[in-house]
Structure 1
Amino acid sequence: MIAILLHGFTGDRTTWDEVCRHWQPELPAGDQLLAVDLPGHGEGPPVQDGWRANLEAICERVGPALSQAVVVGYSLGARVALGLLAEGLTRRAILIGVNPGLPSAERASRQRADAAWVELLLQEGVEAFAARWEAQDLFATQTRVAGAAAAARRAVRRHHRAAELARSLTHMGLAAMPDYRAALSAAAARAQLVVGAEDAKFRALAVAAVSLAPALPLHLVPDAGHDVPLEQPRALARLLARLSQP
């Protein structure tokens, strides 16, 4: 088994380090963990025009192993993992804090919201953007995270290039992604949902997904909000060690 780990927006592959540290000792012999930088992040490729083109860039970066891997994604990475699963580009996916897609009626509103973030990035830069991004209610539970881990995550966020983050929002944001809700239901036997128990928004999205596909497994991580890899790396590693096995 090879597990491909995909980070969230403004993260990079190093944001999986603590999870991998706890997961590695539980890996069966021959199994591998591979954390990958997404387009526009870390050492990843430039963001391409359009959602599908970015999926193809990720496939090219990972190589043939992707088709037989279990792809583990968080937030943006979870949406990418779902896209890879829905498009038949990988075999299994574990989706942490995923939004599987927007109804048509909500897409224009999300495009306007993302455009406002893009404007902030391009006009005021990464530092101003990061401060505003971190202040969202979605991340309120992160105030409990130990100082060193929280500081490391803030540093990663600020290390990015404003133009590439802006392109990521434009071409890989939720408004740019197809509505994969039906595809998630169809792939229920090959997908797992993971959500922080205190992440009210994404817990509701997960419950809605399960209501459409009762066979879709849903796992709650106690004492975690949206960013489960940051807030509960040990508990998440133990869960992933179990879920990733055939």
Structure 2
Amino acid sequence: MAPSSATVYGRAVRCVLLHGFAGDPASWDDVAIDGERIALPGHRGGGPLADDWAGNLAAIAARIGRCDAVIGYSLGARVALGLVAGGHAPRGILISVNPGIADAERAARRASDAAWAKLARERGTAAFLAAWEAQPLFATQQRAPADRLAARRARRLALDPEQLARSLETTGLAEMPDYRDQIDSRFTLIAGADDARYVAIARALAAPLEVIADSGHDPLLEQPAPLTAAIDRALGRALGRTPGRAPGR
């Protein structure tokens, strides 16, 4: 059960929450923001994957209906970016987002994703996760509470390896448009202070940035309370209100 929103603005708007790759809606359990938590295609409860980025984005857009803000982490942040860029939502809060790569980089990225997909298919979910989570990008996650890590691992082990592979092949960074020129005042960016690469990506973009202290790539797991506060500030700015002042006053 997700905690009730502990925020001023999280109760004032309709938010949609999108998890990351190999995640699920329960990834948001420790983030006290009210919202509709959507499972992405290829993940538990998210339905089948389409054959390409555009098809998957259209399927998600059809499910979210009207919302005031779409909030996403990693893969979910890229989806949120695509939804706002496509006119399906008015604003987005993007956590640890890579908004796109140049065409010259796509072949190398596609080859990398293909290697990960091959690992998932040939060795199964447990072996895939062991290798995936051992990447330096995720090293700081070992600082998270043991019970939180164990709960996430149990949920991840239930994922289907074929769907993980197809998610990489159809929603990977090489498959989506380069949205960098779409980043503007409709968005707030959030990154963990210890995730130097994604802080640098965010600082190069034309949108406000919130940096979460003592967090790496996944603030949902590593620092959910400061993340909640950062999201609430972003919603307040989007509504043109001052944090701490109740909506409508």
Q: TM-score, normalised by structure 1?
A: 0.89
Q: Indicate whether 1:240 and 2:228 are aligned.
A: no
Matches within 5 A, 1:167-182: 167-182=166-181
* Displacement of 1:119: 0.3
| Counterpart for residue 93 of structure 2 | 94
| Counterpart for residue 28 of structure 2 | 16
| Superposed CA offset, 1:209-240 (max 9, x none) | 2xxx3xx1011000000001100001111111
* Displacement of 1:153: 1.4
- The runs of at least 4 aligned residues of structure 1 exceeding 3 Å deviation read none
| Counterpart for residue 75 of structure 1 | 74
Q: How many residues of Structure 1 are paired with residues of Structure 2 in the alignment?
A: 225
Higher helix residue share: 1
Q: Which runs of 5+ in 2 are unaligned?
A: 1-12, 240-249
Alpha-carbon distance between aligned partners in 2 of 1:104 and 1:176, rounded to the nearest angstrom: 10
Three-state SS of the structure 1 residue aligned to 2:46 is coil
Q: Indicate whether 1:37 and 2:39 are aligned.
A: yes
Of the three residues 61, 64, 77, the one matched with 2:63 is: 61
Residue identity in the other structure for 1:135: A
Of the three residues 202, 208, 212, the one matched with 1:217 is: 208
Q: Which runs of 5+ in 1 are unaligned?
A: 24-31
Alpha-carbon distance between aligned partners in 2 of 1:49 and 1:181, rounded to the nearest angstrom: 23
Residue identity in the other structure for 1:65: R
* Displacement of 1:60: 1.8
Residue identity in the other structure for 1:220: V
CA contact (8 A) 1:45 1:57 kept: no
Q: Indicate whether 1:199 and 2:211 are aligned.
A: no
Alpha-carbon distance between aligned partners in 1 of 2:71 and 2:57, rounded to the nearest angstrom: 15
| Superposed CA offset, 1:109-148 (max 9, x none) | 0000000000001101101000000000000001111110
| Counterpart for residue 27 of structure 1 | none
Of the three residues 49, 52, 57, the one matched with 1:50 is: 52
| Counterpart for residue 127 of structure 2 | 128
Residue identity in the other structure for 2:53: W
Three-state SS of the structure 1 residue aligned to 2:221 is helix
Alpha-carbon distance between aligned partners in 2 of 1:36 and 1:130, rounded to the nearest angstrom: 22
Identity of aligned residues (%): 49
Alpha-carbon distance between aligned partners in 1 of 2:61 and 2:40, rounded to the nearest angstrom: 11
CA contact (8 A) 1:10 1:156 kept: no
Alpha-carbon distance between aligned partners in 2 of 1:244 and 1:157, rounded to the nearest angstrom: 30
- Tell me how large the CA RMSD over aligned residues is: 1.0
